[in-house]
Structure 1
Amino acid sequence: MRVTVLGAGSSAGTPVIGCQCAVCHSDNPKNKRSRCSSLITMDDGTNILIDTSPDFKMQAMRESIDKIDAVLYTHHHADHCHGMDDLRAYCQKYKKAIPIFANQNTMSELKLKFQYAIREETKFWETPVLHAQIVNQLFNIGSHEVIPLPVIHGRMEILGYRIGRFAYITDVSEIPDSTLELLQGIDTLMLDCLRFEPHFSHYGFKQSLAMAEKINPKRTFLIHMTHDIEYDAVSDSLPEHVFLAYDGLKLQINN
């Protein structure tokens, strides 16, 4: 399968509005980070989206995403779901509802925010038509197995996801031992790394590196980064097999 990083940035994106720092004014395109989301394209062409960031339309056009077959939601915070309305284009094009997957708490919050979109289809396609699927254990999207990965984000339990030997964990402050067991044997990990300083609901830089070492995949890509992290300088300081993700990064993953 192929994983495309649609956005590697945190809730404000980079550049940050009104900021005069060197990273926000950098000419390096790898320092331009839209809000966090990724696309998984399976070998049969199935497109599985992780989160719909507020920048999803721009990301979808940049990557020429022709269809979305399912969406995995990690949680309901604005930077991970407020691009949901742009799924409308795919529902209109194919006259087909899109299933969305989340845990109970996330789905309840999404229904409050997007009641108009999470509904049964009618003869009209003027809004997204999304079918809610609450998950707490292994499930399938077509023939593809997806394992939810419960993690802690501040005081809230949210989900990462594992498909084959790939795992995606954003917005995390704690990974329970039971979830670490589900991560055994992965080859590629995408992992939250908000900034250098610790944060009550996210991994900081040292925590991310420590967890990457503990899980020990063949390669780890850090995501959900603020303008605190300058691509070239930080990349030069990373241990072997740990990398900074960037918008547009494409990874081939053998399962």
Structure 2
Amino acid sequence: GRKLLVDAGPDMRAQFLAAGVGAVEAILFTHHHADHVMGTDETRVLNRITGRALPIYAMERTLDNLRQRFDYAFLPSSGPWFFRPALEPFQVAPGERLEIAGMPLTLFSQDHGVMETLGLRIGDFAYSTDLVRLPEESLALLHGLDTWIVGCFQRAPHKVHANLDQVLEWVRILQPRRTILTHMGSDLDYGWLSRILPPGVEPGYDGMVLRPGR
């Protein structure tokens, strides 16, 4: 099937090997914090597999930051050997509806405290990481979900990440059938969460595979 990678973290190579993932059609970057972009250099392997530059989609500020960190990845292609990554950038913005890797996406704005991040919805599935608040227009886009992956950093309130109480309040409002917590900090123990979370809400884990609607 078609594959869209969301963000390229520092352990991207290890994750790809563990999951048995080969090529992807494109990358969507939610924002430019290091834990979401520092695997970008590894994309040269994806270039070798596909034989072409890799389309990437991100907001203007994120693309600017990627060009600063990985300027060599935006130079003319080094194919067919791709000794450096080759990225083909496309600027996107919250509120856009577009098709990436054959998938119809709706992008929405998230408040990460120090910056705006991108959330995405594909059909009745949505992904929201690195956020502390959701604007009203974004909340409105998240009704009617089957599966929602949402960042939940810790128990206590935090300046730039949603805490457990905030996420559970969003779940109460939106009523997705299934909610998966991600981007969890050290005080959100998997066993403890599994015991105390309400029905339909569960902690994610490395290597988790989701099939929305099942």
Classify the TM-score, shorter chain: over 0.9
Instruction: Give the structure 1 partner of residue 82 of structure 2.
Output: 125
For the pair 1:106 / 2:62, whether they are aligned, the reply is yes
* Contact 1:195-1:229 within 8 A present in 2 as well: yes
* Contact 1:120-1:131 within 8 A present in 2 as well: no
Matched AA of 1:130: L
For the pair 1:192 / 2:148, whether they are aligned, the reply is no
Instruction: Give the structure 1 partner of residue 97 of structure 2.
Output: 138
Deviations 1:64-104 (A, max 9, x none): 11111111111000001101111111101221111111111
SS at match of 2:72: coil
Deviations 1:143-171 (A, max 9, x none): 32111111110131110111111110001
Greater relative contact order, per chain length (Cα 8 Å cut-off, separation 6+) = 1
Mapping of 1:91-240 within 5 angstroms? 91-123=47-79, 124-136=81-93, 137-240=96-199
> What CA RMSD, in Å, does the superposition of the two structures yield over aligned residues?
1.4
TM-score when normalising by structure 1: 0.79
**CA distance, structure 2, for counterparts of residue 77 and residue 142 of structure 1:** 24
* Contact 1:107-1:132 within 8 A present in 2 as well: yes
**CA distance, structure 1, for counterparts of residue 136 and residue 42 of structure 2:** 36
Instruction: Give the structure 2 partner of residue 3 of structure 1.
Output: none
Which of residues 224, 238, 246 in structure 1 aligns to 2:205? 246
Aligned sequence identity (%): 35
TM-score when normalising by structure 2: 0.94
**CA distance, structure 1, for counterparts of residue 157 and residue 76 of structure 2:** 43
Deviations 1:130-188 (A, max 9, x none): 11111121111243211111111013111011111111000101100111121122110
Q: Which sections of structure 2, spanning at least 5 residues, go unmatched?
A: none
**CA distance, structure 1, for counterparts of residue 26 and residue 55 of structure 2:** 5
**CA distance, structure 2, for counterparts of residue 214 and residue 120 of structure 1:** 48
Higher helix residue share: 2
**CA distance, structure 2, for counterparts of residue 74 and residue 227 of structure 1:** 23
**CA distance, structure 2, for counterparts of residue 141 and residue 240 of structure 1:** 33
Across the two proteins, how many residue pairs are aligned to each other? 211
